[in-house]
Amino acid sequence: MSQTPESRLRPATPTDLPVTLGALKSSSWVSRSVAEEMAANLETVIASGTALASGVQGFEHTVLPQLETAILAEHDIILLGERGQAKTRLIRSLIDLLDEWMPIVDGSEINDDPYHPVSAHARALVAEHGDATPIAWVHRSERYGEKLATPDTTIADLIGEVDPIKVAEGRYLSDELTIHYGLVPRVNRGIFAINELPDLAERIQVGLLNVLEERDIQIRGHRIRLPLDIVLVATANPEDYTNRGRIITPLKDRFGAQIRTHYPREVETEIEIVRHEAKVAPTSKAVTVPWFMERIIVEVSHLARRSPMLNQRSGVSVRLTIANYESVVANAMRRSLRTNENEIVPRISDLSAALASTQGKVEVEALEEGREADIIGQLFGAATLLVFRDTVVLDQAAEIMAAFDAETVAHTGDDLASSDYLDLLARVPVLEPATRAIAGETAGPGEMASALEFLLEGLHLTKRLNKDASGPRALYRSKGS
């Protein structure tokens, strides 16, 4: 069972909390279900104007309102969406809707409610000690369980199994205390998440339904009433959940809310996600990613999500955008190290480095197999053309074309220093105003070099310059030469 991210470390238990059942009864603590607890805390969140999932972007007007409604209605929830749509992150954010601390009968494996114990251990302890029963406190970070559904998942994993060690210690097989509880009982009074629910074998789905709906479990002849209190949240790919019928109807019926997630619908939203999520190797050099490079990298993913040459059933994850961004920056860093430059600025020629990070994250349709590199290259070219046409206005197009006579050529490449591009601007001064307009008035050498290469590529894609390319190296020349 994967717990919450490492950032959610369990803090020290406060010293002013009750430590016995009697003291708990004298306090203001009131027992309530997990669903009631989450709904009440969400009311506070909404009233305060705080975002339910502050780390998730692009869902503010679509997914999050539906999620809030489902929680207020105290429903179990299934999130349907292709890979890379922040489903797991969204689920993990729900932990913040739990009370920070929750009392349990001390020593309980399944977080027994001191007022309503359900395990044999907790019932016996309360019966023996009464108000002197010791109380422990569990932090909300420990009230979340998560399981990736795989075909080899067993009832023992989810529900439990007879523990041979406990039998060897002298307990009878008929004794409930011989059971080693699985993942689901151990997050009693918490949130249990199942990723890719349809991949769970049908017989395991039946066992999960029994413990969640019928409130009983059957393990090696044991038939135990176990009224667990769990909010169930699951994820699934829509293709598996709706079309193939790989989930038993009673379990599907348990979910009160079915919420469809989606990829970022606006380029600007995905750019913000990439800026936040992308990891750049630590360096003393200044890293500047020009606005047009960011937009091209994001547009590649948006075009891929609409491309008939790619398998859309598996989706095109936002992780593709992040990986491409990181690859392009890393290639620019490699150049800066070789040319001994103090700034790291990606260019169009650095997009060739994104081929490796793209190939592993998209699935080419069967009819197009063997053409992966060509198809990915077409996506990058189409994205560059789209950004150029949408954002660049050329007032000096005729003068630039005239400047590229038979003897004027422009060399570009991911291994050329920024000074080589500045030399070209000095030789063909008519390129400078358009390059400056793209890069900005305060742009340094690296940004000017990147903007110039974008301008040249845009002129080629709009059929105003010829281009001879060999890998990341290119030569731009007049159409007539």
pLDDT for residue 221 is more than 90: no
pLDDT confidence of residue 131? 95
CA–CA gap between residue 299 and residue 458 (Å, rounded): 15
Instruction: For residue range 26-75, list pLDDT tens digits in order.
Output: 998 999 999 999 999 999 999 998 888 877 888 999 999 999 999 999 99
Instruction: For residue range 8-20, list pLDDT tens digits in order.
Output: 567 888 888 999 9
**Intervals of CATH 3.40.50.300 along the chain:** 21-260
CA–CA gap between residue 222 and residue 433 (Å, rounded): 81
Mean predicted lDDT score pLDDT of the chain: 88
More confident residue, 225 or 154: 154
Q: What is the mean pLDDT of residues 303-329?
A: 91
CB atoms within 10 A of CB 230: 21
CA–CA gap between residue 171 and residue 174 (Å, rounded): 8
pLDDT confidence of residue 213? 79
Question: For the ranges 46-60, 355-369, 406-420, 458-472, which has the lowest average pLDDT?
Answer: 355-369
pLDDT confidence of residue 6? 43
In this structure, which topology does domain 21-260 adopt according to CATH?
Rossmann fold (3.40.50)
Residue 139's contacts (CB-CB under 8 Å, 6 or more residues apart) are 10, 11, 13, 100, 101
CA dihedral 267, 268, 272, 273 (to 10 degrees): -30
Instruction: For residue range 126-182, list pLDDT tens digits in order.
Output: 999 999 999 999 999 999 999 998 888 888 888 887 776 766 676 655 566 677 788
Per-residue HEC secondary structure of 236-304 comes to: ECHHHHHHCCCCCHHHHHHCCEEEECCCCCCHHHHHHHHHHHCCCCCCCCEECCCHHHHHHHHHHHHHH
More confident residue, 9 or 325: 325
Backbone φ and ψ for 168, nearest 5 degrees, come out as -65, -25
